[in-house]
Chain A
Amino acid sequence: MKWLLVGVIVAATTVGEVLQAVGMKRHGEIEDFRPGALGKVLGLLARNKLIIASVALMAVSFFAFMKLLTVAELSFAVPATAATYVFETVLAKYLLKEQIGWVRWTGAWLVACGVALLFL
Chain B
Amino acid sequence: MAETARLRLKTRAFTALVVLSNVLGNFSLTWGLRRVGGLLGFSPIAYVEAMFNPWVALGVSLLILWLLSHMALLSWADLSYVLPVTSMGYALAAVVGRVFLHEQISWTRWAGILFIMLGVWLVARTAPRSTPQLRPESAQS
User: Which residues of A pack against B, CB within 8 Å?
Assistant: 17-18, 20-21, 24-30, 40-41, 44-45, 48, 51, 55, 58, 62-63, 66-67, 69-71, 73-75, 78-79, 82, 85, 88-89, 91-93, 96-101, 103-104, 106-120
Instruction: Check A111–B84 contact: CB distance below 8 A.
Output: yes
B110 to chain A, nearest CB (A): 9
Contacts of B27 in A (CB 8 A): 74
Known contacts A44-B137, A107-B123, A117-B115; is A29 also within 8 Å of B79 by CB?
no
Q: How far is the CA of A109 from the CA of B115 in the complex (A)?
A: 9
Instruction: Check A98–B79 contact: CB distance below 8 A.
Output: yes
| 0/1 interface trace, chain B 101-130, chain A, CB 8 Å (1 if under) | 101111011011111111111111110001
Q: In the complex, which of the residues A51, A85, A93 contacts B87, with contact meaning CB atoms closer than 8 Å?
A: A85
Q: In the complex, which of the residues B71, B80, B109 contacts A108, with contact meaning CB atoms closer than 8 Å?
A: B80
Q: In the complex, which of the residues A18, A27, A92 contacts B138, with contact meaning CB atoms closer than 8 Å?
A: A27
Could you pull out 26 A-B pairs where Cβ atoms are within 8 angstroms?
A21-B74, A24-B74, A25-B75, A25-B131, A28-B137, A28-B139, A29-B133, A30-B75, A69-B33, A73-B103, A75-B97, A75-B98, A75-B104, A78-B94, A79-B112, A88-B83, A107-B118, A107-B124, A108-B123, A110-B122, A111-B84, A114-B87, A115-B87, A117-B115, A118-B94, A118-B112
Q: In the complex, which of the residues A26, A63, A89, A114 contacts B83, with contact meaning CB atoms closer than 8 Å?
A: A89
Residue of A67, A74, A101 contacting most chain B CB atoms (<10 Å): A74
Known contacts A93-B80, A98-B78; is A26 also within 8 Å of B122 by CB?
no
Q: In the complex, which of the residues A21, A78, A93, A100 contacts B26, with contact meaning CB atoms closer than 8 Å?
A: A78
Instruction: Check A82–B75 contact: CB distance below 8 A.
Output: no
| Chain B minimum-CB-distance residue to A115 | B90
**What is the number of contacts between chain A and chain B, taking CB atoms within 8 Å?**
203
Q: How far is the CA of A44 from the CA of B138 in the complex (A)?
A: 8
A81 to chain B, nearest CB (A): 9
Q: How far is the CA of A38 from the CA of B130 in the complex (A)?
A: 25
A92 to chain B, nearest CB (A): 4
Instruction: Check A70–B83 contact: CB distance below 8 A.
Output: no
Instruction: Check A99–B120 contact: CB distance below 8 A.
Output: no
Instruction: Check A114–B114 contact: CB distance below 8 A.
Output: yes
| Chain B minimum-CB-distance residue to A48 | B137
